[in-house]
Amino acid sequence: MTHNNASTATQLATRELSTGYGSHEVLTDITLSVPRGSFFIIAGPNGTGKTTLLKCLAGLSRPRTGEVSLEGTPLSRMTRRELARRIAFLPQSVESAFSLTVREVVLMGRAPHLGMLGFHKDKDMALAEEAMAFTDVLHLADRSVDALSGGEKQRVFISRAVCQQPEFILLDEPTSALDLAHQVRVMDLMERLKLERGTGVVMVSHDLNLAAMYADTLCLIHQGTVSAIGAPPQVLEKKRLETVYGCRLFVEESPAASSLRITPVPARMSKDAASH
């Protein structure tokens, strides 16, 4: 089922966003928007401000100037609870302080939706089961999260975000510690969330090849500003990427999904790269 267009009017957007830490300005004048039902990937070299941007989009950091808004309402005017109902954020690493079972962690996704007394209802339990099935962790439901592998844990925290039923899900490098099969699994899950539930997916990733295959919009950040934004083939231009990343690259047609494939070139082969 493809999500209808009614909700694509809902946008998570920044306008002239600038921010930093102390005297260090990290992001300058970032204006972008992500519609619901789209897959938006943020890439760029280390230390260029991708995580900082994602935290601003999640409402966890306030920009110094400019604004982040959801459906036209500035995040700064929304309560934490409302934000948590509408936007799920998965940081680079999630540590659980207590030894909780997978079901308990996934149920935590319902917290922003609970009534005054904070009791889970049958509906919350059913949504947790559904989220665990969607992310293929149902068979782990009664296991302690602490005793799971990195890939399994990653899926549990994605499951918690799915259970939250957010309009937007924001993920910081969710595939960086995963093997190839699990990388594709996480990307496929996000694609299903986008298509079946109309969720807006915003992901920070260093993997330009995955971005080329999955992103509707790729945003390349360089030195705190948007270097390029658009469909992956428009952004993944050899000269631009070599300038931004400061290395030689092969950029060629990939056999997969008629997308581009980017390969960094070892120094000993860099003469060959010039001709590609």
Ligand X SMILES: Nc1ncnc2c1ncn2[C@@H]1O[C@H](COP(=O)(O)OP(=O)(O)OP(=O)(O)O)[C@@H](O)[C@H]1O
Task: Pick the piece of the chain touching ligand X (CB under 6 A) from 29-37, 40-48, 101-109, 191-199.
Answer: 40-48
DSSP string, the chain: -PPPGGGGG-EEEEEEEEEEETTEEEEEEEEEEEETT-EEEEE-STTSSHHHHHHHHTTSS--SEEEEEETTEEGGGS-HHHHHHHEEEE-S----SS--BHHHHHHGGGGGG--TT----HHHHHHHHHHHHHTT-GGGTTSBGGGS-HHHHHHHHHHHHHHT--SEEEEESTTTTS-HHHHHHHHHHHHHHHHHH--EEEEE-S-HHHHHHH-SEEEEEETTEEEEEESHHHH--HHHHHHHHTS-EEEEE-SSTT-EEEEEPPGGGHHHHHT-
Q: Between residue 19 and residue 38, which ones bind ligand X under the rule CB under 6 A?
A: 21, 26
Evaluate whether 232 touches 259 at the Cβ level (below 8 Å).
yes
Given the complex with ligand X, which of 51 and 144 has the nearer CB atom? 51
Determine, following the binding rule CB under 6 A, whether residue 7 of this chain makes contact with ligand X: no
Among 18, 51, 176, 223, interactor with ligand X by CB under 6 A: 51
Task: Pick the piece of the chain touching ligand X (CB under 6 A) from 39-47, 94-102, 130-138, 226-234.
Answer: 39-47
Q: Which of 189, 179, 173 is nearest to 132 (CA)?
A: 189
Among 35, 37, 49, 112, interactor with ligand X by CB under 6 A: 49
Determine, following the binding rule CB under 6 A, whether residue 47 of this chain makes contact with ligand X: yes
Task: Pick the piece of the chain touching ligand X (CB under 6 A) from 1-9, 49-57, 241-249, 254-262.
Answer: 49-57
Determine, following the binding rule CB under 6 A, whether residue 79 of this chain makes contact with ligand X: no
Contact letters for ligand X, residues 243-272 (x by CB under 6 A): ------------------------------
Given the complex with ligand X, which of 219 and 249 has the nearer CB atom? 219
Determine, following the binding rule CB under 6 A, whether residue 52 of this chain makes contact with ligand X: yes
Among 17, 39, 50, 165, interactor with ligand X by CB under 6 A: 50
Determine, following the binding rule CB under 6 A, whether residue 61 of this chain makes contact with ligand X: no
CB of residue 95 vs ligand X: minimum separation in angstroms?
17
Determine, following the binding rule CB under 6 A, whether residue 209 of this chain makes contact with ligand X: no
Given the complex with ligand X, which of 167 and 173 has the nearer CB atom? 173
Determine, following the binding rule CB under 6 A, whether residue 18 of this chain makes contact with ligand X: no
Q: How far apart are alpha carbons 41 and 207 in whole angstroms?
A: 10
By CB neighbour count within 10 A (0-12 exposed, 13-18 middle, 19+ buried), where does 158 fall?
Answer: buried
Determine, following the binding rule CB under 6 A, whether residue 83 of this chain makes contact with ligand X: no
Q: How many residues bind ligand X (CB under 6 A)?
A: 10
Given the complex with ligand X, which of 10 and 52 has the nearer CB atom? 52
CB of residue 61 vs ligand X: minimum separation in angstroms?
9
Q: How far apart are alpha carbons 205 and 256 in whole angstroms?
A: 19
What is the contact surface with ligand X in residues (CB under 6 A)? Answer: 21, 26, 44, 46-52
